[in-house]
Amino acid sequence: MSDDVIELRVDERVAHVIFRRPQVLNAINERFCQQLSGIFDTLEKNSEISVAILSGGQARAFSAGADLTFMRTLSGPSLRRFIEMTWLVFNRIARSHIVSIAAMHGYALGGGAELALACDMRIADEDTQIGFPEMTLGSVPGSGAVQRLPLLIGRARAIELILGGQKVRGREAESIGLINSCVPSGRSVPVAEEWGSRFASRPPEALRFMKAALSVGPDGNVGPALHGLISSICQSADGYRSNTHSFSRKSENR
């Protein structure tokens, strides 16, 4: 019997990364992290793939967070190593040149919410519940929420959600900028597929360099030189030249 807890399917230039631990609401353990990291190794080696959609499959959750049963077997150095592993794997997704979309439903709690934060975009069913319960249990989010959440919703609101531990549903999550789009129940994956197909039609090199540029930030010295280099590379491609020619012709005929 396969011990895979994540399924990878590829549809043209879009990869579907589907979590397969429904019995524990896609809780995150060491095997989950290892397979997720290995899947991104595979995707990054395939020049034909530029978008990945992460979803919770048939479980009642995108991911309910860390597998507490597994974590109770850890202590001291082994516990620290597992937390470090989750942080590094999620950060790997955030820094990958693959554009990632989290298609969320049900629960996205703790580490599950942090995994969604590591993705470039988030689409959630309206009944999705997103939260960071770690402080209510006496701990602190350890897989990226402390760093990423303030960038999305502001420092004060991030502190409120982390300290309070309350769950935020789809519509509110959209209104505060925690997710990109709230959709009717059962629609997060189909909408993510629509987005993925559209984004995957962009030139692969342009997508790759866009992700690289985003990771640099607004550095006043590095930024201009980097963007000059990126733009010159992208604009030297035949596809860019033909696209701009067609765009100019359409503009002239309006």
Active site residue 134: yes
- Active-site residue among 114, 126, 160, 174? 114
Sign of CA dihedral 127, 57, 193, 233: positive
Kindly name the residue from 84, 134, 174, 194 that is annotated as catalytic.
134
Q: Please, how many CA atoms are within 13 Å of residue 224, restricted to the half-sphere of its CB? A: 2
Would you please indicate which residues are annotated as catalytic (active-site) residues?
114, 134
